[in-house]
Chains A and B, each alone.
Chain A
């Protein structure tokens, strides 16, 4: 799994609560990404990071924030979870001009 650990692997939370997902890598890759995967939509980019404290928005960033205070950790926060954010969330890492490696995913259910 290319040294990527996502936590938690499963989470059920209530609407309106904040939720933080963690991605930890041991590969020292520069780029880190958060995607969500939904039926019929494939993988869609939420946010990405190109270095410590350097982040940018992806295609579906509304309602999400990220932080990267260390090379190895990339956090995704749902500020106030909604049912539309029920999804499977994948973290990925890459080096410039190379392929992305994915974690095993976090299955989030917002009730």
Chain B
């Protein structure tokens, strides 16, 4: 079992849809949770950063962490074609040495 699992996709949705991206993990020591967006042939860019459990909202993006279930989610509201990218979850126990999921490729169709 991989330390971090992520729905591989690809995921295709119509413009304006709500998108749910999910990761599960096995290491209960993880405390730092991140979501990155990666466009084709570019480096990952940070979308959301949360510590411990709970929700965090930033514009159209909401990150949820449920440590009891070892499950994190990223919701994208009113999805746009510009949201088409690969989304990577990442987590860490100590604030360094981040472990990444394999990524979910999202396409938002106009």
Instruction: Give the B-binding residues of A (Cβ under 8 A).
Output: 1, 31, 33, 35, 40-45, 48, 50, 58, 90, 92, 94, 96-105
Contacts of B88 in A (CB 8 A): 42-43
Contacts of A1 in B (CB 8 A): 43
Instruction: Give the A-binding residues of B (Cβ under 8 A).
Output: 6, 32, 34, 36, 41-46, 49, 88, 90, 95-103
Among A44, A90, A96, contact of B96 (Cβ-Cβ < 8 Å): A96
Query: What is the chain B residue whose CB lies nearest that of A48?
Result: B97
Are the C-beta atoms of A40 and B43 separated by less than 8 Å? no
Distance in Å: Cβ of A56 to nearest Cβ of chain B: 9
Contacts of A31 in B (CB 8 A): 96
Distance in Å: Cβ of A45 to nearest Cβ of chain B: 7
Question: Knowing A42-B88, A43-B88 touch, does A50 contact B96 (C-beta < 8 A)?
Answer: yes
Contacts of A50 in B (CB 8 A): 96
Distance in Å: Cβ of A109 to nearest Cβ of chain B: 14
Query: What is the chain B residue whose CB lies nearest that of A95?
Result: B95
**Top 9 nearest A-B pairs by Cβ distance?**
A97-B95, A42-B102, A102-B43, A43-B100, A99-B49, A42-B100, A104-B43, A102-B44, A99-B46
Distance in Å: Cβ of A27 to nearest Cβ of chain B: 14
Are the C-beta atoms of B97 and A45 separated by less than 8 Å? yes
Are the C-beta atoms of A105 and B43 separated by less than 8 Å? yes
Query: What is the chain B residue whose CB lies nearest that of A40?
Result: B102
